Amino acid sequence: MLSGLPFLTLLGGAVLLGSSVQRMSGIGFGLLASPALVLLMGPVEGVALVNCAGVVIGVAGLATTWRQVRLRTMVPLVAAAAVTVPLGAWFALRLPEPVLLTVLGGLITGAVLLVMLGARVRAMHGTGGAVAAGAASGFMNSAAGTGGPALSLYAVNAGWSAREFVPNAQFYGLVVNLLSALAKGFPHLARPAWLMVAVTMGAGILLGSALAARTPENGTRRLILGLALAGGVATVTKGLWLLLA
């Protein structure tokens, strides 16, 4: 595992990229940063950092958009996620690292491909669809740090616009990442690493806010999904390599 300046540089780059995209689009930190942080810190510590960062970014995003949150719609999503978050935490804390890397990478890759293909699922409508999406998202968020794709699939099938999606995704991410962090605990990082995370996250939030109104939605979406797919494949590859070694 890397240490020193190379570790801090890669850590800061992953957090900066993930937080800026998350601030722009409502999701993206887990998709972009989780594969990199898992490869850099290990599956348990990397996902724990994703969950903690998601809480901070959610608070920052909701500071100006909280009035646009659909609380009635969020209740079944969050309630279902609260049930499956402990299961995802149990899963993440007990599997051997090679198996966990392979499974997490597979979950990320599969979720990204579903979103890229514009999958529409008839069952993902109304309260039942919200419960199904929340349950899947809560498990994946706690286990892999990537609850966004399931929420995106629900939003697509429910006909949400991008303007509606961003504040609701920020609210959902804040609550579910907080539940995930409480279920698994906080990552163990040295003081310089925490400082790097804080600085690059702050810079990413400011950068994302500045770029949000200037970046075409389709371009941002393609960037997020392309990088997430590459990260998912890399995580699967490392897991399989360790399994076969």
DSSP secondary structure string for all residues of 196-215 = HHHHHHHHHHHHHHHHHTTS
Mean pLDDT, rounded, for 224-238: 72
Can you list the alpha helix ranges (DSSP code H) found in 26-70?
29-41, 43-65
Q: Which amino acid is at 26?
A: G
If you search the block for the tokens 């400082």, which residue do you land on? 195
pLDDT of residue 17: 87
153-to-36, 54, 129, 156, 172 alpha-carbon distances in Å = 23, 19, 10, 5, 14
Mean pLDDT, rounded, for 156-169: 75
pLDDT of residue 7: 87
pLDDT of residue 223: 63
- Which of 232, 73, 67 is CA-nearest to residue 149? 232
Q: Which amino acid is at 187?
A: P
SS3 235: helix
Mean of per-residue pLDDT scores for the chain: 80
- Which of 193, 238, 239, 218 is CA-nearest to residue 14? 193
If you search the block for the tokens 């069952």, which residue do you land on? 123
Residue 104 and residue 142 in contact, taking contact as beta carbons nearer than 8 Å: no
- What are the tens digits of pLDDT across the range 72-101? 888 989 999 999 999 888 888 888 878 877
Q: pLDDT-based confidence at 13, cuts 50/70/90?
A: very high
- What are the tens digits of pLDDT across the range 110-124? 777 776 776 555 555
pLDDT of residue 34: 79
pLDDT of residue 170: 84
> Rg of the chain's alpha carbons, rounded to an integer?
16
Mean pLDDT, rounded, for 148-170: 75
